Amino acid sequence: MKKFLAVIMFALMLTTTARAAEFEMVEYSAQVKLQWLAAAGIPEAQKFLKLINRPVFFNAGNLNDFERIEKTNALYQELNYAAAIEYVRGKNYKNVFDLACSLSPRAMILGDDGRSVIVGELQSVCLLGDWCLEEIGSKKAIKNVEYLSFWLQDKQGMMNAADKLKGEVCIIEQGVMIYLTDDVRAQMYENIRDVLKKHGGCMITSDFCQKKYFTDVAAALYGEGNSATLYNETKAMYEKVFGDKISDESLQDEQEALEFLKTHGLVARKVPLFTRTPALNIFKKLTPEQIQKVNELTTRNYLWVITAL
């Protein structure tokens, strides 16, 4: 009996350690994203980073080609961040469901606009997110933004969170797909379809073209000849953070992605990232030639607007 209990205890310990490591990985990926947004010069992201006061993961001392990787990722993240804010404001969505967005300066800004924002994340990120909001959010943002913890594959959890929003929702999701297994991704899209059917509205994402989009961002800064290298270096960096392979090939073919969405009762239309030339913070760090190339990028249809069939 004693031996049996010891085996059970050991197994439990292993599971707990594995789970803890899993949480650490996702928290790391959340923090790295914040690092890029801060590097782009977004004041809200800089405030989050200062507040959580954790060691910065990547720097010139531990990552080859750091300067180029940082600038490319900072630009990519700011484009996503600003495009989502512009879309929500342009369509004047009163409700935003920000999925797996990690610590979200974007939620804080949209909450400050007076919109209701639910951030869906893992519990450890939610605890940190709530605290950051209390510390650096405006009164309006604190009132309007709420972090709620659920797994993306949790049908009831996602619906319960969405039900706190009254009226049409704009779901924002960016960059999580590469971390998910096929079955979790499929379940997440089933859940999103259910939310859109019940509440109306849309989901915006660039996940179905992220590989091309990121490579184009790198090319705008450092030329076509360097873009594949920067993509691969960034991928290797995220795999290091994540501690596992990421599935960046999934659903990058447009027809395959549209079929996948159809299977889950969804349909997509592609729209430009921005409807007018954005004033990005990162422009202060770019040359006039780079800015011109970035401005060309902002008119491309990297944003997928997904609705229920």
Ligand X SMILES: C[S@@+](CC[C@H](N)C(=O)[O-])C[C@H]1O[C@@H](n2cnc3c(N)ncnc32)[C@H](O)[C@@H]1O
In angstroms, the CA 12 to CA 8 distance is: 6
286: exposed, middle or buried (Cβ count in 10 Å: 0-12, 13-18, 19+): middle
Please report whether residue 207 would count as binding ligand X according to CB under 6 A: no
The contact mask relative to ligand X for 75-94 (x = CB under 6 A, - = no) is: -----x--------------
CB of 80 to ligand X, least distance (A): 6
Please report whether residue 110 would count as binding ligand X according to CB under 6 A: no
Comparison of 13 and 36: residue with beta carbon closer to ligand X: 36
Q: In this structure, what DSSP letter does residue 55 have?
A: P
Residue type, 223: G
Q: In this structure, what DSSP letter does residue 281 have?
A: G
Residues 241-270 that bind ligand X (CB under 6 A): none
In the list 30, 69, 195, 218, the residue contacting ligand X (rule: CB under 6 A) is 30
Among 204, 119, 206, smallest CA distance to 162 is for: 119
Please report whether residue 234 would count as binding ligand X according to CB under 6 A: no
Stretch that binds ligand X, among 39-47, 118-126, 134-142, 283-291 (CB under 6 A): 118-126
- Count, residues near ligand X per rule CB under 6 A: 19
In the list 38, 42, 79, 100, the residue contacting ligand X (rule: CB under 6 A) is 100
Handedness of CA 25, 31, 32, 33 (dihedral sign): positive
Pairing of strands 303-308, 201-205: antiparallel
Q: In this structure, what DSSP letter does residue 71 have?
A: H
In the list 102, 205, 234, 298, the residue contacting ligand X (rule: CB under 6 A) is 102
In angstroms, the CA 166 to CA 116 distance is: 9
Residues 121-180 that bind ligand X (CB under 6 A): 121-122, 125, 151-153, 174-176, 179
Q: Convert 18-34 to b/e letters by CB count within 10 Å (16 or more is b).
A: eeeeeeeebbbbbbbbb
Please report whether residue 29 would count as binding ligand X according to CB under 6 A: yes
Comparison of 192 and 255: residue with beta carbon closer to ligand X: 192
Stretch that binds ligand X, among 62-70, 88-96, 98-106, 213-221 (CB under 6 A): 98-106
Among 44, 161, 158, smallest CA distance to 110 is for: 44
**Placement of tokens 């849309």 in the chain:** 202
Chain CA centroid to CA 288, Å:
28
In the list 45, 101, 204, 280, the residue contacting ligand X (rule: CB under 6 A) is 101
Comparison of 100 and 171: residue with beta carbon closer to ligand X: 100
Can you give the binding site for ligand X, defined by CB under 6 A?
Answer: 26, 29-30, 33, 80, 100-102, 121-122, 125, 151-153, 174-176, 179, 184
